Amino acid sequence: MVSRSPIGQSVPRREGVAKVTGAAKYTDDLVIVGAWYGKTVRSTIAAGRLRAISLDPAFDWSRVVVVTAADIPGENVVHLIRDDQPVLARVGGDIRHKEEPILLLAAPERGTLEAAARHVRMEYEPSTPVYDLDGALEVYSTIQITKGDVDSVQGEVIERTFKVGLQEQLYIEPQGAIAIPEPGGAIRIIGSLQCPYYVHRALKRALKLSDAQAIVVQAETGGGFGGKEEYPSMVAIHAALLARKAGRPVRLIYDRHEDLAATTKRHPGVIRHRTTVKKDGTLLAQDIEIVLDGGGYCTLTPVVLSRAAIHAAGAYSCPNVRIRARAVATNTPPNGAFRGFGAPQSLFAAELMVEHAAGRLGMSSVDLRRKWMLRLGDTTATGQKLTESVGSELVLDAALKAAATVQPSNRPTVRRGRGLSLVFHGSGFTGSGEKKLQGTIGFEALADGTFRILTASTEIGQGTKTIFCQLAADALGVSLDRVTLAPQDTSLVPDSGPTVASRTAMIVGRLVQDAAAEVQQRLARGEQPPIAIQKSYIQPDSLSWDETNYRGDAYPIYAWACTIADVDVDMITGEVRVTDLVTAVDCGKALHPVMAEGQIEGGSLQAVGWATIEEIKMKDGAYQNDRLATYLIPTALDAPRIRTILVENPYSRGPFGAKGIGELPMDGPAPAILAAIHDATGVWLDEVPATPEKVLAACASR
């Protein structure tokens, strides 16, 4: 037996040595003998019909493989939810956004490939594109959440409209996949991805492959943040089609420009609030309308809308709530998953409403939050009773205690301000999601005395591999080096569900823990290895969700965070510098404190970027910010000092009480920063990013 459990210890990252020596192999690092290079040719119109594709006969096509929609053996669809998105636009078919994939090319060298791409011409029949939310082409999804009766309530009314902007995930490793044809009609995909089984399902549908013929392997992945949740299916199918036609491996690796121009972004939108309060500050009603822009195809939009809607009332207890949410189609590149997944957008609005209400009432917004916050025993907007692990007041007090006194600005042209936000985030899949998924892992005791975890949950920097080994080693009572993981390869491991929704440590980690404990018991009873078992998620009976009426237990558990942001606003330029961020996070249990902090620090800076400098301007349905010189994320010189306080308030079903916190850090900073800007300047902005242009204009018009 090992004397000290690794749980709660910040043990070295499992793949850390490989990462600091440059030995870790990301997709484009892999040498595949005989592989050709692939490229996607994309639409230059935002809406219309594809009339014809012509290949210039003057070009030598003998060393180029060309794939069109006609070459798709299965269904011309990137399988996800609605199945509306084609793998490739077909001649005679619709185009619904710029950069829509039309044609694929492969060639032995990049020079030939680039030249070939210049000799392809598309003929279009353009139609009038629709870009604005009100004139939208169609509605992808609508959700209504009702509690009590907002229309029957009288009181002081505060109304406000908020806008949230697009955001690019900006993983430093661009999208990419390598497809390798294998015997028996099989195709192996090695790629930069979060969800091997999403890709597996999509690959089977488009390439008409059996379970065994589609093999999806995750390579070391340089960041995902949701941007590699669903998009890799598109890349993988494209690479596979080229490899199949070429009869050889094909590498389809995006450069940064293509990645910025063509891949999914955070859903932008408009959120309207009408809040009714009593003069003493009692919260009476919240009437909320959300419109999100899904772009040209549906992708994950209904699920993003769902999370946005469920979080829209904020971390507060209110007897009368109406949330009407819809997601619409426009002729812009489809939007998709990005950390937070709708919640940052709706919580941005909810938190600023608390500030506005406090302003109207002449109360401190911190006091108002104490009055309104959800507490143990309270019921959420969907009617979920919070029966355990409610961290609201804990994190508020912890953040307030930790925040340093504000030092006044020593420069006459720079104003200093502080803002606070209190947010929560549901861990795990919404509603019956986990139940439907039935995530499964395998666990083995091997003859050599080691143990192996078989899971499709991926390491994308957040510490999956390390934490799973900690949980297993602890349950087994062995040293960490006795525990290994099978590769994230669909031919080797079962479907544990996607690496998303803040579920990996809490839901899948719990399965690892339970499986290891079961194997340990069997060994203790004298059973000899090899032992191999599987463990699947079982929905607790106490959770129930009504999908039709959107009522009940939306998530197994929520986690809370309180963020205090300090800003310096330069009154000459309107520039907002976030100097300090203090965040208290209700994580249940910090299985690996350094990694938990790492999630909070990284997620917080992404939110700081979204709130301040990460702006995407659209022109004629295309992003103007399509290079790293124009899409700007914070550098080390821009980043605030970030201090994290981990508050441990256990959740009974999480491993050691752990709750999922991967996305929560994205929710708090933006509204806290806008409140800080108000504190510094006296102006309220209602949108993110709060660019210097907007800040200066707002200050000038005061």
Applying CB under 8 A, the span of 33-41, 321-329, 384-392, 570-578 interacting with another protein comes to 570-578
Closer CB to another protein, residue 72 or residue 698?
A: 698
Residue whose pair of structure tokens reads 């809490």 in the numeric block:
506
Residue whose pair of structure tokens reads 């991926």 in the numeric block:
458
Q: Where are the alpha helices (DSSP H) in 525-574?
A: none
219-238: which residues touch another protein (CB under 8 A)?
Answer: 220-225
407 binds another protein (CB under 8 A): no
State the sign of the Cα–Cα–Cα–Cα dihedral 576, 312, 428, 473.
positive
34 binds another protein (CB under 8 A): no
572 binds another protein (CB under 8 A): yes
Residues 6+ apart with CB under 8 A from 227: 168, 169, 170, 171, 175, 263, 264, 336, 337, 338
Asked if residues 150 and 330 have their Cβ atoms less than 8 Å apart, the reply is no
Which tokens in the block code for residue 693?
Answer: 């242009």
Write down the least CB distance from residue 177 to another protein, Å.
16
Applying CB under 8 A, the span of 25-33, 237-245, 327-335, 488-496 interacting with another protein comes to 25-33
432-471: which residues touch another protein (CB under 8 A)?
Answer: 460-463
- Dihedral angle of Cα 299, 613, 620, 101, to the nearest 10 degrees: -40
Q: Rounded distance, CA 590 to CA 649, Å?
A: 10
Closer CB to another protein, residue 232 or residue 294?
A: 232
3-state SS of 161-172 is EEEECCCCCCCC
CB count in 10 Å sphere of residue 172:
9
Q: Rounded distance, CA 632 to CA 614, Å?
A: 6
**Burial level of 147, CB count in 10 A (0-12/13-18/19+)?**
buried
Choosing from 210, 534, 573, 652, the residue that interacts with another protein (CB under 8 A) is 573
Write down the least CB distance from residue 314 to another protein, Å.
24
Q: By rule CB under 8 A, what string of x and - marks binding of each residue 514-553 to another protein?
A: ----------------------------------------
641-700: which residues touch another protein (CB under 8 A)?
Answer: 641-642, 692-693, 696-697, 700
Write down the least CB distance from residue 474 to another protein, Å.
20
Choosing from 5, 8, 28, 531, the residue that interacts with another protein (CB under 8 A) is 28
Asked if residues 681 and 695 have their Cβ atoms less than 8 Å apart, the reply is yes
Q: By rule CB under 8 A, what string of x and - marks binding of each residue 172-211 to another protein?
A: xxx-------------------------------------
Q: Rounded distance, CA 52 to CA 72, Å?
A: 17
485 binds another protein (CB under 8 A): no
Q: Rounded distance, CA 569 to CA 580, Å?
A: 13
Which tokens in the block code for residue 696?
Answer: 């200066």
Residues 6+ apart with CB under 8 A from 482: 449, 450, 451, 473, 476
State the sign of the Cα–Cα–Cα–Cα dihedral 405, 408, 409, 410.
negative
Which tokens in the block code for residue 526?
Answer: 């004298």
Interface with another protein (CB under 8 A), residue total: 79
The single-letter DSSP state of residue 597 is: H
Write down the least CB distance from residue 613 to another protein, Å.
5
3-22: which residues touch another protein (CB under 8 A)?
Answer: 10, 12-13, 15-22
Q: Which helix (DSSP H) or strand (DSSP E) does residue 14 occupy?
A: none
33 binds another protein (CB under 8 A): no
Question: What letter represents residue 468's amino acid?
Answer: F
575 binds another protein (CB under 8 A): yes
Write down the least CB distance from residue 108 to another protein, Å.
14
Applying CB under 8 A, the span of 108-116, 232-240, 311-319, 679-687 interacting with another protein comes to 108-116
Choosing from 111, 135, 540, 682, the residue that interacts with another protein (CB under 8 A) is 111
Write down the least CB distance from residue 340 to another protein, Å.
14
Q: By rule CB under 8 A, what string of x and - marks binding of each residue 256-295 to another protein?
A: xx--------------------------------------
Closer CB to another protein, residue 525 or residue 619?
A: 619
Of 62, 75, 119, 122, which is closest to residue 95 (Cα–Cα)? 122
Asked if residues 31 and 494 have their Cβ atoms less than 8 Å apart, the reply is no
Query: To 5 degrees, how large is the angle CA 65–CA 236–CA 124?
Result: 60
Asked if residues 451 and 484 have their Cβ atoms less than 8 Å apart, the reply is yes
Choosing from 32, 115, 137, 523, the residue that interacts with another protein (CB under 8 A) is 115
Write down the least CB distance from residue 496 to another protein, Å.
20
634 binds another protein (CB under 8 A): yes
Choosing from 9, 24, 160, 383, the residue that interacts with another protein (CB under 8 A) is 24
Write down the least CB distance from residue 21 to another protein, Å.
6
Applying CB under 8 A, the span of 286-294, 330-338, 397-405, 569-577 interacting with another protein comes to 569-577
Of 620, 635, 579, which is closest to residue 130 (Cα–Cα)? 620
Asked if residues 568 and 577 have their Cβ atoms less than 8 Å apart, the reply is yes
Applying CB under 8 A, the span of 284-292, 356-364, 526-534, 574-582 interacting with another protein comes to 574-582
What's CA 578's distance to the chain center, in Å?
A: 23
Choosing from 390, 633, 646, 647, the residue that interacts with another protein (CB under 8 A) is 633
Q: Where are the alpha helices (DSSP H) in 162-296?
A: 196-207, 231-246, 256-262
Applying CB under 8 A, the span of 242-250, 269-277, 638-646, 673-681 interacting with another protein comes to 638-646
Choosing from 149, 182, 255, 547, the residue that interacts with another protein (CB under 8 A) is 255
Write down the least CB distance from residue 627 to another protein, Å.
6
Q: Are strands 48-55 and 557-570 parallel, antiparallel or unpaired?
A: unpaired
Bridge partners for 356 per DSSP: none
Closer CB to another protein, residue 173 or residue 495?
A: 173
Closer CB to another protein, residue 314 or residue 340?
A: 340
Closer CB to another protein, residue 385 or residue 627?
A: 627
Write down the least CB distance from residue 670 to another protein, Å.
15
145-174: which residues touch another protein (CB under 8 A)?
Answer: 169-174
Closer CB to another protein, residue 76 or residue 606?
A: 606
Closer CB to another protein, residue 413 or residue 534?
A: 413
566 binds another protein (CB under 8 A): no
Closer CB to another protein, residue 1 or residue 629?
A: 629
Asked if residues 216 and 489 have their Cβ atoms less than 8 Å apart, the reply is yes
Write down the least CB distance from residue 106 to another protein, Å.
18
Of 613, 619, 626, 583, which is closest to residue 601 (Cα–Cα)? 583
Question: What letter represents residue 670's amino acid?
Answer: A
Asked if residues 106 and 112 have their Cβ atoms less than 8 Å apart, the reply is no
593-632: which residues touch another protein (CB under 8 A)?
Answer: 594-595, 597-598, 601-606, 613, 617, 624-625, 627-630, 632
The 3-state DSSP composition of the chain as helix, strand, coil percent (nearest 5) reads 30, 25, 45
Closer CB to another protein, residue 106 or residue 350?
A: 106
